[in-house]
Amino acid sequence: MRYLFVLICFFSLPAFAQQQASALASLKTAPDNEKVALYRTIAQGYAATEPDSAVHFANEGMRLAEQRNDRQGQASLMVTLGNINALHHHTELARSFYNEALGLYRRLQDAAGVAHTYDQLGILDGSTQNFNKALKYYQDSHDSSGLIETYEGMGKTAEENGEREKALSWYLRALTQYEHRHHEPEAYFVLLEKISKLYQEKGDSSTALHYLETGIRKGKKQGEPSGGVRLLNDEGHVLADDRQMVKALEVYKQALSEAKRYNQPNEQAEALIGIAGVLKKQDAGTSIQDLEQALKIARTLHEPKLEARIYEALAGIYQQQKNYKEAMSALTEEHSLIDSLLDADTVKEIAALDSSYVLERSREKTKNLEQVNRVERAELHLVLILAFVVIVFLVILWLYLRKVKRLNGELKKLNEELINSNRVKDTLFSVVGHDLKGPAGSAAQLFEMMETEEFTPEEMKSMIAELRIQTSASLELLKALFEWGKSQLQGVKVNPSDFQVRPIVERSIHLLSQQAAQKNIRLNTQLPSKLMIHADADHFEFIVRNLLSNAIKFSYEGGEIEVAAQTPDAQEVIFSVRDKGVGISKEQQAVFLTSNIKVNYGTKKEQGSGLGLLLTKDFIKANHGRIWLESEEGKGTTFFIAMPAA
C-alpha cells in the first residue's frame, strides 16, 4: 500500500499521461536546458507500468544534467529514481537515491527540495520524524501544496498501520488546504476518493457518498469531467455495496454516459462492469453483453489487468447460469492474462533493478575516482615542494599505495555482491521451476482427462474444483518464492502467527496425492487435531510440502510415508516425516549439517535441483526452528523439524 501512495503522489492519472505524451513529442526538438525536465516527466509516466523504461529515461536525463552541471536537475532526477525503486519494492536503492538527493538539495540550500525529499523518505519508511521535518518547513513558508503532500503522506502511513481515525484526521487536514483555491487539481479528486474509501470501510456509507458527490460537483463546476466520471463509478460501487441497487444502476448509467461523452474508454469499461454486477441476478444475459462490450474496450486499450477482471466477472455469471464450459474458458483466459502480466512485470522489474544498480555503481565509481584525483593532485603539489626530502616522498607513496589497495578491495567486494545477486536470481528461478512441477503436472493430467473422457456435470464440477486448488497452490507458491528471492537481497521477512498445523499438513498431502498415487504410496498422519505452533504459516506449508515431495520421490512403489508430531515440552513441537525409501549415506548426512545434500535421482528417475531443501533450511532457521535427520541406506529416512510451540 505504501508503494501505491508513492504512485499516486507523482502520477496524476489521465492528466499525467497527457504530460508524458507531450514530453515524448517535445524531446527531439527541445533545447538542452529543457530536456532534463522532459526526461523526468517521461520517467515518471513509465514508472508504474514500464519500470525499465522509466529508469532508462531517468538515466539519460541524469547524464545530460551531469554534462551541463545542472545540480538542481540531478537532485530532482535522484528523487524520481527513488520513487521508481520505492514503487517496485527496491527499498534500499530507493533510500540511497533519496539520501543522495537530500545531500544535493542541502548543498544547493534548496529548502523546498529538502522538505520534499524528507516527505519521500517518510513515505518509504513510515517515519514520523522525516514528516515532521518537512512539515516545519512548509508551515514556516506557508506552502499549502507542501502541507498537502506531507499531510497525505502522514495519513497514508497511519492507514497502513491500521490507525483509520488518525489517517482520516490527516487526510481532512490536507483537504482544508484546498478551501481557498479557485481551481482544484487532479490530486484533490484523488484525495476525496481516499477519504470516501475510509468512511466506507468504517461502515459510514452516507459520509462516503457525501465526499464523492462533492468531488463530482466540483469537477462539473470547473469543467474538468475526468475526475468526475471516476468518482461517479466510485459512487456506484458504494451504493452497490450498500445494497441500494436501483440508485447504483442509475449512477453507473450516468457514469457510462459521461465517459462516452468525454471519450474516457477506461471509465466506460468500469461503468459497464458495475452495471453487469448490479444486473447479474435478474438479467444475466444483459450482464454478459455489458461485460463483452467492456472486454472490447479493454482490448482496444491494451489493458490486460482490466481484461482479467472482466473475465473473472464473466466466469461468475456463467457459473451462476451453470454454464461450466464457458465459466472454465473465462477462468482460463483470466489465468493466462495474470500469468503473462506476472512474467512481464518480473522481467521489467529485474531490468529496472539492474539499471538502477548500474547507475548507483557508476556514481560510486565516479566519486571514488574524484577522490583519488584529489589525492593525487595534493600529492603532486607536495612532491614538487618537498622533492629534496626523500623520506616525505616515501611516506606519501606508501599512503598512496595503501589507498589504491583499499579501493581495489572495495571493488572486489562490489564484484562479490554482484555475483551473490546473480546467484540468488538463478536460485530463485530454479526453485520456481522445480517446486511448481508437481501442481502443474497434476493440472495438466486433469486437463488431459477432461479433453479425452466423457464426464457427468457433477464429475466435471469436481474436476474444476480440483483444478482450482492446484492452480491456486501454484500461484501461492510462485508468490512466496518470488518474495523469497527479494528477501535474499533484503533479508528473510517472517510474519509469525499462532496457527493450527493439521489443516496445512492435510492441504499439502492433498496437493501431492496425485504424485503419491503414481507410485502407489500411502500418506499417513499422526497429528493431534488442535496442535498449534508459532511461526510463519506460508513458510511452514512450504517446508512440509517440500519434505513430503522428497519423501515420495525417494520412496519405492507401494511404500508408506508418515507425518507425525510430538511435544516433549511446552516450548517446541517436533515434527517428523518418515519414509521407507532409499535412505541417505553417512557421508551425505554429514554434508547436510553444513551445506546441502547432493541431488540424486528418485526411485523412478525423478530429477530435482536440491534447492527446495536448501530453502527449507533457510525458512526453518528464520523461524527459530531446528532440522536434523536419521537415515539408513536401503531402509529409509526420517527428517525432524523442531518449531516453537504456540
CATH annotation of 1-109: 1.25.40
What b/e readout covers 167-182, taking b as 16+ CB neighbours within 10 angstroms?
bbebbebbbebbeeee
- Report the relative pairing of strands 560-566 and 522-526 from DSSP bridges: parallel
For Cα atoms 490, 495, 499, give the angle at the middle one, nearest 5 degrees. Answer: 155
How far out from the chain centre does Cα 76 lie?
Answer: 25
Domain 494-644 has CATH 1.10.3720.10: no
Task: Report the candidate in 203, 200, 177, 202 with the shortest Cα–Cα distance to residue 188.
Answer: 177
- Whether 1-109 shares its CATH topology with 494-644 is answered no
- On the 0-12 / 13-18 / 19+ scale of CB atoms within 10 A, 530 is exposed
Neighbours of 520 (CB within 10 A): 11
Per run of 10 residues, the mean pLDDT along the chain (length 646 residues) is 44 50 74 84 81 84 88 89 83 86 88 87 82 84 85 86 88 84 81 88 88 82 71 83 83 78 80 75 74 76 74 74 74 73 52 51 50 65 82 88 88 76 61 62 77 83 79 64 62 86 94 90 91 94 92 92 92 95 88 65 58 81 93 93 94
Is the Cβ–Cβ distance between 598 and 610 less than 8 Å?
Answer: yes
Task: Report the candidate in 509, 508, 516 with the shortest Cα–Cα distance to residue 604.
Answer: 516
Q: Which residues pair with 644 in a beta bridge?
A: 572
> What is the distance between the alpha carbons of residues 173 and 453, in angstroms, rounded to a whole number?
64
> What is the distance between the alpha carbons of residues 616 and 587, in angstroms, rounded to a whole number?
20
Give the pLDDT score at 535: 96
> What is the distance between the alpha carbons of residues 178 and 31, in angstroms, rounded to a whole number?
35
E strand or H helix at 634: none
361-to-13, 197, 356, 421 alpha-carbon distances in Å = 33, 42, 9, 14
Helix segments in 177-323, DSSP class H = 186-201, 205-221, 225-241, 245-261, 265-279, 284-301, 304-320
Is the Cβ–Cβ distance between 417 and 423 less than 8 Å?
Answer: no
Neighbours of 374 (CB within 10 A): 10
Q: Where are the domains of the chain?
A: 1-109, 185-263, 494-644
How far out from the chain centre does Cα 184 lie?
Answer: 32
> Which CATH superfamily includes the segment(s) 185-263?
Tetratricopeptide repeat domain (1.25.40.10)
Coil vs helix vs strand at 196 = helix
